[in-house]
Amino acid sequence: MRYSQLFGKTLRQDPKDEVSTNAKLLVRAGFVKKEVSGVYNFLPLGLRVLNKISQIVREEMDKAGGQELLLSALQNSQNWQKTGRWKSFDALFKVKSQYDQEYALGPTHEEVLVPIACGYVKSYRDLPICLYQIQTKFRDEPRAKSGLLRGREFLMKDLYSFHTDEAAMFAFYEKMKKVYQKVFGRLGLEAIETKAAGGT
């Protein structure tokens, strides 16, 4: 397809409502279009890039023994209440149906996957399990001004693993670090490992 036929054209000036450099560049280049603060629509060029990145991630995860699944974005509030995070997860989008049922828009999927895994893992022989997904997430960020980083709606690849003991878990963690380095390498990125607090 010729560039002249492509939906989403380049802009001459930075969008006035963007603060972050990544968003300014992506909007100007016709990769994304802002919907509201922290939420972006991926135009054809942006979606092509997103799909290529996702494919590289899938290839490397599958090679490492991961199994892809897709968990629901709309989540049962009861699972969140059981873990105590219904009240403590500050960025949780909560919605109520017309039938007065409460749900969460998934910012992460531990509350969905752990009960599922408990139903299938019956013995240590069923372990280890490595499950991953590339899924839309939602977080009610108070100041979503970092473009595609730290937005209110975003695509995230998450991985969940289950092991027989802590030693097996740490060995798997080291293996996955190498897999992620390989993904970054294939994307032409130099990743720097750093310590950080776990996400909420």
Domain-embedded: residue 194:
no
d(CA 68, CA 159): 9
pLDDT of the residue at 22 = 92
pLDDT of the residue at 199 = 59
Cα-to-chain-centroid distance, residue 104: 16
Nearest 5°: CA angle at 153, between 9 and 43?
15
Q: What does R_g of the chain's alpha carbons equal in angstroms?
A: 19
Domain-embedded: residue 138:
yes
pLDDT of the residue at 16 = 85
Q: How far apart are the first and last CA of the chain?
A: 43
pLDDT of the residue at 88 = 94
Domain-embedded: residue 160:
yes
pLDDT of the residue at 8 = 80
Q: What is the residue range of 95's domain?
A: 17-186
Other beta carbons within 10 Å of 152: 21
Domain-embedded: residue 166:
yes
Q: Which residues contact 144 (CB under 8 A, 6 or more apart)?
A: 37, 38, 39, 150, 151, 152
Query: How many angstroms separate the Cα of 64 from the Cα of each of 51, 109, 132, 154, 160?
Result: 20, 21, 11, 25, 13
Domain-embedded: residue 104:
yes
Q: How many domains does the chain have?
A: 1
Q: H or E segment at 50?
A: helix 44-63
Q: Which residues of the chain have pLDDT under 50?
A: none
Q: Per residue in 81-138, pLDDT tens? A: 999 999 999 999 999 999 999 999 999 999 999 999 999 999 999 999 999 999 999 9
pLDDT of the residue at 200 = 52
- State the angle between helix axes of 166-186 and 44-63 in degrees (0 to 180), rounded to the nearest 10: 140
Total residues found in the chain within this entry: 200
Residue 175, helix vs strand vs coil: helix
Other beta carbons within 10 Å of 90: 11
* pTM more than 0.85: yes
Domain-embedded: residue 26:
yes
Location of structure tokens 């499950």: 131
pLDDT of the residue at 146 = 84
* CA dihedral sign, ordered 61, 57, 173, 158: negative
CATH number, domain with residue 96:
3.30.930.10
Domain-embedded: residue 22:
yes
Domain-embedded: residue 3:
no
Closest CA to 66 of 184, 174, 158, 165: 158
d(CA 151, CA 121): 34
